[in-house]
Every structure is written in structure tokens, then in C-alpha cells.
């Protein structure tokens, strides 16, 4: 699964590198960026270099902090505090889709720099986001089915004689009765394996959506020479990456990957925004963020990422958590988790004022 993840991310980064130079097209006169006292390339460059390292450190802290919670008893995945923190991070991911990525896509695909037909005749942002959510559902379902069948095929039950079968059935009944009387029945191993597979699919799909918009926002930051907006944007992106990384790190932790796979996923999340920023710096001389090609490319990527993030936050994270046995068995814990979701969504919504 880790090799598949590497292939997907490598292909995505190659596509970005191929299509980004197409944004060097001629910009219409009315769409050229206005220059003012804040536009200074020489002063902006040190700020962007600081941004690369700041965002990288914030991303590493965010995505890695949940991976070390097993050593902290209060933050163990089986404890209530971990569920509350995960709900807080899920609220952040939900607000990222609704308050950051989706509005940016609307602004780009309805820009006056694009032709009236077809970009102002049809709501492409909503359409692409809807398709992205449906495709995410398909990938989510198909991937779970494939890995479930693969896991089931690896376990081949031994064929027992009728007498041995009856003895095994009696033993199971007796053992089940004994444990049910004293400790209660334990969940079937198959159910545990199925949930683990779901967690792994969720972690992979969620990371893919986060990586897509992380590269886009990094590219926009690297291409900007406005010193007045870069400072606030860097601070907002650091908080954004840290808390979004916490949500992804919690999913990676529950997926119970081996150390190398955890490192691979954490690495890709941490470097994508700095990579996009570095790419934007390299192209800042000729990259035109208001060119039609740039607006269409970034707008469509943001729309697809928004649909994926909203689906994952609502269906695979929040719905699965709130409809699960742990929260359904405690109204008090549900209320705490509701408050955590609202707090996370509210905090990230506030960040939309600067980023």
C-alpha cells in the first residue's frame, strides 16, 4: 500500500510540474496584478524562504504528534481524550474544505479574466466538487472491497471431520458461554480486521486530498511578491498545516501501519506545501497567477480537493465516529465531541480571514 501511495503522489507531482509552466501565458491587460508599495520581489524572497522552513516544521509537528501518543496514556487511541482531539481535527478538515478551498475555487473559476462562455455560464466549482465527492465514494468503497477480499483469501480454514467439527462447535459454545458469563463476548477478529482495512483506506484517501490542495496553496504563496499579505499568510498556513496534520496523523495512527509506511505518509504531507512554495519561487519571474490557464488549473484542483475533503470529513471521520459504539454509548462524550468539532471548525473558519 505504501508503494501505491508513492506512485500516486509521484504522478501527481509530475503533472503539477508539467502543467504549471502553461500558466506563463499572456495575461489580459485588465487582469494584470496591480503593483503598489507592498509588491517587492527582493523583500518577499526572504519571507518565502522563511515560510518554507516554518511550514515544514509546523507540518512535521502536526502530523507526527498523534503518532507518539501511545506513549502518553491519556492520548491512547482507546481513551476518550483521543476521540475528542480527533473530532477537533476533523472539524478543522471540514472547515478547510468549506471555508478555504471551495471559496478559492469559486473565485478563480468566476474570475473576470476568464471567458464569459463557458466559465460564467455554468457553476464548474460545484459540479467538480460534486463529482470529486462521488469519485471519492467509489474509490473508498472499491478499495475497501478489494483489500477485504485480499485479506479474506489469505486465511484458508482447515477442513475438519464431522466429529471434530461437532467437538469444535461445542468448545466454541462452552468458551463463549464462559466468557459471556464472566467478561462478555469479545469482538470477532474479522470485524477488527475489517475496521483496520477501513482505517487504512481512509488514511490514504484523506492524505491524497490534503496533498492536492497543499501543493496549490504552496504554489500561490511562492509566486506572490506581496510582502503585506505574505506575513499573515505564513502564520495562518503554519497553524493550518499543524492542525490538519493532527487529523491526518490520527488516521495514520489508527491504520496501524508499520514504521516505514507511517514515515512515508508523514513525509509526503510535510513536504508538499514547501515543495509548492519552492516551485512558485522558481517560477515567480514568469508565473502569472491571473492568467486563464493558472486560474482554470488551480480552480479545478481546488474544487476536486474540496469535494474530497468534505466527503472524508463528514462520512469517514465524523459520521463514522459519532455513529460508532464508543460515542453512541455515552451522551456526555458525544457533547464533548460536538463541542470539539464546532471549536475546530470555528477556529479554521477564523483563519480564512488571513488565508
Question: Among 136-140, 144-148, 196-200, 330-334, whose mean pLDDT is lowest?
Answer: 144-148
The ranges assigned to domains in the chain are: 52-151+190-353
Measured torsion, CA atoms of residues 160, 163, 165, 166, in degrees rounded to the nearest 10:
180
Q: Are 270 and 9 in contact (CB under 8 A)?
A: no
For residue 136, what are the contacts with CB-CB under 8 A and spacing of at least 6?
Answer: 205, 209, 307, 308, 311, 312
Helices (H), 65-161: 80-95, 102-109, 116-119, 124-153
> Mean pLDDT, to the nearest integer, of 241-247?
85
The pLDDT value given to residue 10: 55
Phi and psi angles of residue 226, each rounded to the nearest 5 degrees, phi first: -90, 105
pLDDT band with cut points at 50, 70 and 90 for residue 49: very high
Q: Are 241 and 59 in contact (CB under 8 A)?
A: yes
Closest CA to 236 of 344, 341, 353: 353
Tell me: pLDDT of 185 over 60. Answer: no
The pLDDT value given to residue 24: 45
The conformation of residue 39, written as its DSSP 8-state character, comes to: B
Q: How far is CA 83 from CA 65, 68, 147, 247, 345, in A?
A: 15, 15, 26, 11, 16
CA separation for the pair 305, 282 (Å, rounded): 24
pLDDT band with cut points at 50, 70 and 90 for residue 66: confident
- What proportion of the chain, given as a percentage, has pLDDT over 90? 21
Q: State CA 94 to chain mean position distance.
A: 10
Q: How far is CA 190 from CA 147, 148, 155, 186, 317, in A?
A: 13, 10, 11, 12, 21
Hey, is 226 helix, strand or coil? Answer: strand
**C-alpha cell belonging to residue 353:** 480571514
36 phi-psi bin (left φ>0, alpha ψ -120 to 50, beta other) = beta
CA separation for the pair 261, 125 (Å, rounded): 34
Neighbours of 197 (CB within 10 A): 19
The pLDDT value given to residue 245: 87
Q: Are 288 and 294 in contact (CB under 8 A)?
A: yes
Hey, is 27 helix, strand or coil? Answer: coil
For residue 119, what are the contacts with CB-CB under 8 A and spacing of at least 6?
Answer: 109, 110, 111, 296
CA separation for the pair 110, 292 (Å, rounded): 11
pLDDT 10s digits, 280-292? 888 777 767 778 8
The pLDDT value given to residue 127: 95
pLDDT 10s digits, 191-211? 557 778 888 888 888 888 888
pLDDT band with cut points at 50, 70 and 90 for residue 15: low
Q: What is the pTM of this model?
A: 0.74
Amino acid at each position: 500500500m505504501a508503494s501505491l501511495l508513492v506512485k500516486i503522489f509521484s504522478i501527481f507531482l509530475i503533472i503539477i510540474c508539467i502543467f504549471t509552466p502553461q500558466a506563463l501565458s499572456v495575461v489580459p491587460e485588465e487582469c494584470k496584478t496591480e503593483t503598489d508599495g507592498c509588491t517587492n520581489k527582493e523583500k518577499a524572497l526572504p519571507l518565502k524562504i522563511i515560510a518554507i522552513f516554518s511550514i515544514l516544521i509546523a507540518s512535521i509537528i502536526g502530523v507526527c504528534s498523534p503518532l507518539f501518543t501511545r506513549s502518553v496514556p491519556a492520548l491512547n487511541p482507546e481513551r476518550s481524550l483521543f476521540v475528542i482531539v480527533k473530532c477537533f481535527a476533523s472539524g478543522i478538515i471540514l472547515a478547510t474544505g468549506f471555508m478555504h478551498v471551495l471559496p478559492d475555487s469559486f473565485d478563480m473559476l468566476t474570475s473576470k479574466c476568464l471567458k464569459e462562455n463557458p466559465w460564467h455560464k455554468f457553476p464548474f466549482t460545484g459540479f467538480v466538487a460534486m463529482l470529486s465527492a462521488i469519485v471519492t465514494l467509489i474509490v473508498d468503497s472499491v478499495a475497501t472491497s478489494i483489500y477485504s477480499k485480499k485479506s479474506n483469501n489469505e486465511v484458508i480454514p482447515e477442513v475438519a471431520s464431522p466429529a471434530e467439527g461437532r467437538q469444535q462447535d461445542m468448545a466454541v459454545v462452552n468458551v463463549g458461554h464462559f466468557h459471556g458469563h464472566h467478561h462478555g463476548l469479545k469482538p470477532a477478529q474479522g470485524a477488527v480486521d475489517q475496521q483496520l482495512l477501513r482505517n487504512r483506506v481512509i488514511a490514504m484517501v484523506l492524505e491524497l486530498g490534503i496533498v492536492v490542495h497543499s501543493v496549490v496553496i504552496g504554489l500561490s504563496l511562492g509566486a506572490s511578491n506581496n510582502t503585506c499579505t505574505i506575513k499573515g499568510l505564513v502564520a495562518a498556513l503554519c497553524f493550518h498545516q499543524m492542525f490538519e496534520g493532527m487529523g491526518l496523523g490520527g488516521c495514520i495512527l489508527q491504520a496501524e501501519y508499520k514504521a516505514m509506511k507511517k514515515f512515508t505518509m508523514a513525509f509526503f504531507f510535510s513536504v508538499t506545501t514547501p515543495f509548492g512554495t519552492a516551485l512558485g519561487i522558481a517560477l515567480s519571474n514568469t508565473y502569472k497567477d491571473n492568467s486563464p490557464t493558472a486560474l482554470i488549473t488551480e480552480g479545478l484542483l481546488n474544487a476536486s480537493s474540496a469535494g474530497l475533503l468534505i466527503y472524508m470529513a463528514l462520512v469517514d471521520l465524523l459520521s463514522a465516529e459519532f455513529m460508532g459504539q464508543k460515542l453512541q454509548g455515552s451522551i456526555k462524550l458525544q457533547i464533548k465531541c460536538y463541542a470539539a468539532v464546532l471549536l475546530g471548525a470555528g477556529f479554521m473558519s477564523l483563519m480564512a480571514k488571513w488565508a
